[in-house]
Structure 1
């Protein structure tokens, strides 16, 4: 993941950080389960 360009890193950060900051436990659980 660290090798990916800034764009991908930004997207991942927005998804993970956004879910954590927004307290999206359900969303995080769903995305984490898929991975």
Structure 2
């Protein structure tokens, strides 16, 4: 009777991974510029 709700966990996990990657890249850039 009811439509299955699309899980939003995948999107959040993808966003988390992208955020972590961006953070790591920012840290690498900071280290590179600090040198």
Task: Quickly name the TM-score band, shorter chain normalised.
Answer: 0.3 to 0.5
- Bigger radius of gyration: 2
| TM score, norm. by length of structure 2 | 0.42
Structure with greater contact order relative to length (CA < 8 Å, sep ≥ 6): 1
| TM score, norm. by length of structure 1 | 0.42
